[in-house]
Structure 1
Amino acid sequence: MIIKNITSNVQTSAQPTDMERSGIFSVNAEPNNASVQNTYVRIAGSSLTEKARRSVACRGAMFGLDARIALAIFGMLSVVAGATAINVLGGAAVTALVTEFNNVKKSYQEFHLATGDHTTRFKDLIDNESGIPGWAGPYIDLTSDRSRQHGTYSLIEGRQDVPGVPPVECTGGGICSVFLKLTRVKDSLAAEADKNVDGEESANSGAFRIEFTPGGTDDVYFILAPKPAS
């Protein structure tokens, strides 16, 4: 209860005032020569309690609003961070696949320089079971034709200058090449890798080609080296 000391010369009255009757204020006075030396005005406890309750309720409401705003902001940041993480991981997967293909391409070219052979047996890059003269491998850091992340590798001949998946057979002239084939590559990854290699989505032409298969994966083809038509 708050007490305010007011010193004044106010005539005392035996009758309670209207404010005293209402319970808002109560006045106690000690008469001294028909004047009041010390008058205490008390603010009613009920009024203060109500005001305090309203103040606490207001602060509570503001705290709740701040908490909701903070949660909304954190939610938005989580969405943005999640999308960013997905993009980063997706980009890393594309880079890894294209890098792996380029490494196989270099390995094939080294094999050809050493042997003069245009093999269509993928394992010739790993071992020399075929007995190829001049072989000095292994040329690739694999122990089988199984990809570490996808399906299996193989080598096929096909027309580089003609659209088609699988590549068109090397007959009747034209530019023939050896293609690297990899199975079970995710649809989205294959599409992004195609854009990375060819600069656009060109599923049935270019250096990177996609053969759509049922399900969520595809077979992809990547040109390794030109080859004389047989």
Structure 2
Amino acid sequence: MQYNNFIEVNQDLMKKNIVKKGAMFGLDARIALAIFGTLSVISGAALHSAIKEARIATASQRIIEFAKATEAYLIDVRKDMPESVSTPGGLARRVQDLLDSTARGWNGPYIDVETTSHDSLVKDSGHVVFQWYLYWSANEDWGDISGWKGNDCSAGKVCYYFMKSHIANIPGTEKKEFALSLDEYLDGGDGADKGKLRILWYLGNRDEPILFYRVAPTFKRF
């Protein structure tokens, strides 16, 4: 009788231990899954941030390349780029001269581009497509301008070449954030109306930024 009781007690203890271990295993599994889930969210956010930063860096590099091409042209030719014949007002420049020109001292082409259109050059930067024009604008704080060009050159003002482009190939809802991220990357986020990179809002639409990048002063004095 005592022997049988001993066996029954041991069997009960074994069953309880098995149930307890099973419960602990289930708890451990749930904890592990929760940890992996959290890590996945963190990894996903980090990956998204890294991709975004890489796109901004690539786009910034393309902007700088175009600016350096314009500077090289001005250094070689030693005079202002001819006026655009298709854009009235005398401020737009014939940007195709970066690719081909008979000007004395010209030593180009100064940049590789995908296509040309009117007085613009199209440069694919992977995530975003830039269509660059060259304009003369006053080198001063522009203010919160809702238009298509910077402050006009007039008597007593120092004028610069500014690259100009809309932002293509990304959704409209992302354009504003992209433009402000470029300003942060290139200018330390000094504001849309000052520094090397300027942002205008086309017809007042905050989802349609126009980028302007200051390159070099004009030879002409106003």
Q: Given residue 71 of structure 1, which amino acid in structure 2 is its aligned partner?
A: L
What corresponds to 2:30 in structure 1? 68
Q: Deviations over 1:39-73 (max 9, x none)?
A: xx223665544433322221111111101111111
Q: State the aligned residue count.
A: 190
Q: Is the 8 A contact 1:108 1:224 kept in 2?
A: yes
1:56 counterpart = 2:25: no
Q: What is the percent sequence identity of the aligned residues? A: 27
Partners of 1:169 and 1:153 in 2: CA distance? 19
Q: How does the TM-score come out when normalised to structure 1? A: 0.73
> Where is the strand percentage greater, Structure 1 or Structure 2?
1
Q: Is the 8 A contact 1:93 1:189 kept in 2?
A: no
Deviation at 1:115, TM superposition (A): 1.4
Q: Is the 8 A contact 1:170 1:229 kept in 2?
A: no
1:211 to 196, 200, 203: 200
What corresponds to 2:217 in structure 1? 226
Deviation at 1:132, TM superposition (A): 2.8
Q: Deviations over 1:61-110 (max 9, x none)?
A: 11111011111111221222122222222222222122212211211111
Unaligned runs of 5+ in 2: 82-92, 116-120, 169-174
Q: Given residue 212 of structure 1, which amino acid in structure 2 is its aligned partner?
A: W
What corresponds to 1:108 in structure 2? 70
Whose Rg is larger? 1
What corresponds to 1:88 in structure 2? 50
1:181 counterpart = 2:171: no
1:202 counterpart = 2:202: no
Partners of 1:167 and 1:215 in 2: CA distance? 16
1:125 to 98, 103, 109: 98
Q: Deviations over 1:135-174 (max 9, x none)?
A: 2211012143112032411111101124244310111221
Q: Deviations over 1:100-135 (max 9, x none)?
A: 12211211111112212322222211223xx43332
Unaligned runs of 5+ in 1: 1-25, 28-40
Higher relative contact order, chain-length normalized (CA < 8 Å, sep 6+): 2
Q: Is the 8 A contact 2:114 2:123 kept in 1?
A: no
